[in-house]
Chains A and B, each alone.
Chain A
Amino acid sequence: MRRLTATERHPVRFTLNGKPAEGTAHPRMLLSDFLRGVQGATGTHVGCEHGVCGACTVRIDGAMARSCLTFAVQIEGAEIDTVEALAPAPARLSVLQDAFRKHHALQCGFCTPGILMSLDTLLATESQADAERIRDVLSGHLCRCTGYQPIVAAALDAAQTLREETDNA
């Protein structure tokens, strides 16, 4: 048993986008604020801060999760992936990101990092995901610009491209 007191900052060691990372946090610091404020990884956006909008979605140990409903001290030893990890190289987009651009699946872009993290996780684990499954995962996100249709189109397009890449590999 370890007790981390409310008034002090405590070290948190974890893996961020494949690289070892560490920082300090009060127990009450949310993972979303820890990523943005302490780690400087501002790709993750903060919207509602009570688990409804999905903008802050990241990957924790391979599963999509709300970073505003997790405390930084809870991720000790965990593997965290954020939207910064998606692009394979500077100035290059991932297949999913490229499909978002092609299909105009974003306008203001506020909800996009969270949606990308959810859909990237989905397509990595379920390459056969159809429109219904994509909508099921998308239900955990709010987008006020697009009306969702272009996002579904982009995800279906990316899924097909990824399947073709695997088939031709």
Chain B
Amino acid sequence: MKPAAFDYVRCETLDEACEVIAQTGDDARILAGGQSLVAMMNMRLATPAVLVDVMPAPDARKVAAENGTLKIFAAVRQASLLDDPDLTWRNPLLARMLPWVGHPQTRARGTICGSVAHADPSAEIPLALAALDGKVILRRGRKRRSVKATDFFLGMMLTDKADDEMIEAVTFADVQQGTGTGFAEFGRRKGDFAIVACAALVSPMRVRFAVGGVNDTPFVRDWDNLSPQDDAEALNALAWSLDARGDLHATARYRRDLVRHLGAQALKEARSCAV
């Protein structure tokens, strides 16, 4: 359980990190909080030749509220976003979901962008990004491109990021006033990855529903004018439309059942705080 050898590069700016990643390509990995990557390295599931540490870069620690979004740069830790007193009113769904990410001990180190880069299908942050019209800002050298979250996640731990690109930041759309939000999750132990997690946003014209832990990527569905008495039928149809599979943790049928039950909880919570 010791990682393979690697060169360690300590970066003072995001520009430096981009430069090393662009030059080294798939032999290099960004080191941020390390809460997923270092575990994978200890198990030798990842053996990068170069680790590029972005945490010492002050410009990677920014959180910016701009154009109706919250823009979170590469070195922002989960705990520091959770401690932001503005988060509860700006983005109540994100504030509701972050305490479900790992444990206090891992949130103190783990980053928002790192969880997005890791792209675990059961993780809460990728689910929140998909539910909240999130975008991933990728950088190759000085060139940037912005990818919608739903296009960024391609499969289990597989993303649209090229080997010579890095995630500079991610953006979450602010939750509009009057929109109700809800979240429900089930896992075997507190802090474990979810078996199924459901997030809901209810506005007067639209119900948005997002599911993690079933498909290989976060799944998002919008319904126009869904009335509460139709929730159960809509959730049942949605549960069957997903690609639920059985594994060591749960059967496909159990996962569909969790979508129905947790989905109903998340919708109920979102409706109760919608205006």
The reply to whether the CB of A7 lies closer than 8 angstroms to some CB of chain B is yes
**Which chain A residues in 108-166 approach chain B with CB under 8 Å?**
118, 122, 136-137, 139-140
Given A28-B2, A69-B35, A74-B53, A3:B106 Cβ within 8 A: no
Cβ B8 vs Cβ A4 within 8 A? yes
**Which of B8, B16, B42 is within 8 Å of A50, CB to CB?**
B42
Question: Chain B contacts of A68 at CB under 8 A?
Answer: 38, 42
* A3: chain B residues within 8 A (beta carbon): 7-10
Per-residue 0/1 for A1-32: is the Cβ within 8 Å of any B Cβ (1 yes, 0 no)? 11111110000000000000000001110100
Within 8 A of B (CB), among A41-69: 48-51, 54, 57, 60, 63-66, 68-69
Interface size class of B (residues with CB under 8 A): 35 or more
CA distance A49 to B2 in the complex (A): 8
- A76 to B12 Cα, complex, angstroms: 14
Contact residue range for chain A?
A: 35 or more
Is chain A's interface secondary structure helix, strand, loop, or mixed overall?
mixed
Cα distance A60–B109 in the bound complex, in angstroms: 9
Q: Which of B9, B51, B105 contacts A65 (CB 8 A)?
A: B105
- Contact present for A50 and B43 (CB under 8 Å): yes
CA distance in complex: A144, B181 (Å):
38
Tell me the nearest residue of chain B to A73, going by C-beta. B8
Within 7-43 of B, Cβ neighbours of A (below 8 Å) are at 7-12, 16, 20, 31, 34-35, 38-39, 42-43
Q: Is B6 an interface residue (CB 8 A)?
A: yes
Query: Are B109 and A27 in contact, CB atoms less than 8 angstroms apart?
Result: no
B-side residues, CB < 8 A to A, are: 1-12, 16, 20, 31, 34-35, 38-39, 42-43, 49, 51, 53, 55, 79, 102-106, 108-109, 189-191
24 A-B interface contacts by CB (under 8 A): A1-B9, A1-B11, A2-B10, A3-B7, A4-B7, A7-B5, A30-B3, A50-B43, A51-B35, A54-B103, A64-B105, A66-B35, A69-B35, A69-B38, A69-B106, A69-B109, A70-B109, A71-B8, A74-B31, A74-B53, A136-B190, A137-B103, A137-B104, A139-B189
**Additional A-B contact list (16), CB under 8 Å, known A6-B7, A65-B109:** A1-B12, A2-B9, A27-B5, A28-B4, A28-B5, A50-B1, A51-B39, A54-B105, A57-B105, A60-B108, A69-B106, A76-B10, A137-B104, A139-B189, A139-B190, A140-B105
A-B complex: 4 closest residue pairs judged by Cβ atoms: A140-B103, A49-B1, A27-B8, A63-B108
Q: Which residues of A does B touch, CB under 8 Å?
A: 1-7, 26-28, 30, 33, 48-51, 54, 57, 60, 63-66, 68-71, 73-74, 76, 118, 122, 136-137, 139-140
